[in-house]
Amino acid sequence: MGSGRRFLYYLLLTLAVALITYNAIISSTSIFLNPGFPGRRGAPPSRSSSDPVVQMPFDRRRDEGRRPRPFHTAVTASDSVYNAWQCRVMYYWFKKVRDATPASEMGGFTRILHSGRPDKLVDEIPTFVADPLPAGTDQGYIVLNRPWAFVQWLQKADIQEEYILMAEPDHIIVKPVPNLAKAGLGAAFPFFYIEPKKFESVLRKYYPEDRGPITDIDPIGNSPVIIGKASLLKIAPTWMNLSLAMKKNPEADKAFGWVLEMYAYAVASALNGVGNILHKDFMIQPPWDLEVGDKYIIHYTYGCDYNMKGELTYGKIGEWRFDKRSFGQKPPPRNLPLPPDGVPQSVVTLVKMVNEASANIPNWDIF
């Protein structure tokens, strides 16, 4: 090989080594600066590296250009009229919001019906029929059927998406929900009344000290939660068994009451090593939250009672009221009266959205 050729050969070799070294440095550095990892530089404020509490939304600009991660929305329900009309409203708004935003990560939808038999809505709402618990097992606490229904659905259904949003019949989707799950963590709403520290003595029966601090248990229920399907497959059987065990334990049953199944999910998540990013602004709950703002979901679990001056009369039936429990035997009538002046925007929006759904859903009075 001539001297000129040898010089050219060594020059090209040197340049190739330099390029490989540069790429290796860039790649390794990007891992440590990735803003998606909680606790890293550039991540939203957090209370620990594995369980951040963040304001919504994340800086979505950092996620521009990433591969979409569609999620499947799943709602459990009984075949009661009470659940049926709420599911119809929920599905109406799910479809409207998703279809208006083709680029949304909102994928398919399933109502998981735990009555053991089809009902009148199976042709209107995509439905998976699950078996209920054996008679008497729920001890009158019908919510115990929820984890058992999820176990069946996850085992038997063909779920195309790799993520799942667990929602409830009394959720109304206001705007497209992005996939908020990150880095193996679920995305969940923190409930002020889920207090693991307060009930540590009870919870230690299910989450022993050798598993870790009680703060490993997040203040969440199963809904709203966006979680990887693989993680939920691990959590669901534990969630079911814990729910049944807690219900049989008089101390736990008394301590947790109507939110027992929520505590069971929080513990099951911790036992399976699945942490959650806690999103305070995942949803609002009228009448306590006054405006919809940038939230994604309205959860109408509380009654809304006001006098005609627009003043809240909570605990006392108001001159104007909207309470889902008023419609246990039949759906709310179409064109509900709007609240008086002075009532918060969140409540006005809620009633307008129920009215729009009922006006556009055929055979609204089917039940």
Q: What is the pLDDT of residues 175-228, one digit of tens each?
A: 999 999 999 999 999 999 999 999 999 999 999 999 999 999 999 999 999 999
Q: What is the mean pLDDT of residues 237-263?
A: 98
Whether residue 75 contacts residue 111, with contact meaning beta carbons closer than 8 Å, is answered with yes
Q: What is the mean pLDDT of residues 227-256?
A: 98
Q: Which residue has the higher pLDDT, 31 or 100?
A: 100
Straight-line distance from the first to the last Cα atom of the chain, in angstroms, rounded to the nearest whole number: 91
Residue 150, CA distances (Å) to 28, 112, 270 in order = 40, 8, 18
Q: What is the pLDDT of residues 67-87, one digit of tens each?
A: 899 999 999 999 999 999 999
Identify the CA nearest to 54 among candidates 266, 216, 280: 280
Q: What is the pLDDT of residues 278-293, one digit of tens each?
A: 999 999 999 999 999 9
Give the pLDDT of residue 67: 86
CA-based R_g, the chain, Å? 25
Residue 172 structure tokens: 């109304």
Give the pLDDT of residue 346: 98
Spatial separation of the C-alpha atoms in residues 259 and 252, rounded to whole Å = 11
Q: What is the pLDDT of residues 301-317, one digit of tens each?
A: 999 999 999 999 999 99
Q: What is the pLDDT of residues 328-363, one digit of tens each?
A: 999 999 999 999 999 999 999 999 999 999 999 999
CA-angle at 182, arms to 181 and 183, nearest 5° = 140
Give the pLDDT of residue 136: 93
Residue 359 structure tokens: 């006006």
pLDDT at 127 over 80: yes
Confidence of residue 154 (pLDDT cuts 50, 70, 90): very high
Give the pLDDT of residue 162: 98
pLDDT at 46 over 70: no
Give the pLDDT of residue 239: 98
Spatial separation of the C-alpha atoms in residues 193 and 256, rounded to whole Å = 10
Spatial separation of the C-alpha atoms in residues 275 and 43, rounded to whole Å = 16
Give the pLDDT of residue 65: 54
Report long-range pairs for 120-127 (Cβ below 8 Å, ≥24 apart). 120/84, 120/366, 120/367, 121/84, 121/87, 121/88, 124/88, 124/91, 125/87, 125/88, 125/91
Whether residue 108 contacts residue 161, with contact meaning beta carbons closer than 8 Å, is answered with yes
**Upstream peptide bond of 287 is cis (omega within 30 degrees of 0):** yes
pLDDT at 66 over 80: no
Identify the CA nearest to 347 among candidates 363, 318, 364, 334: 318
Identify the CA nearest to 258 among candidates 205, 191, 309: 191
Residue 44, CA distances (Å) to 29, 56, 215 in order = 19, 10, 20
Report long-range pairs for 238-245 (Cβ below 8 Å, ≥24 apart). 238/268, 238/271, 238/272, 239/147, 239/150, 239/264, 239/265, 239/268, 239/269, 240/147, 240/148, 240/150, 240/151, 242/206, 242/267, 242/268, 243/144, 243/147, 244/137, 244/144, 245/206
Q: Which residue has the higher pLDDT, 220 or 58?
A: 220
The rounded mean pLDDT for the chain is 86
Residue 358, CA distances (Å) to 222, 245, 297 in order = 28, 40, 18
Spatial separation of the C-alpha atoms in residues 365 and 77, rounded to whole Å = 19
Confidence of residue 367 (pLDDT cuts 50, 70, 90): confident
Residue 255 structure tokens: 């301590």
The CATH classification number of 71-278 equals: 3.90.550
Whether residue 309 contacts residue 340, with contact meaning beta carbons closer than 8 Å, is answered with yes
What pairs with residue 127 in β-bridges? 111
Q: What is the pLDDT of residues 21-40, one digit of tens each?
A: 333 322 322 222 222 222 22
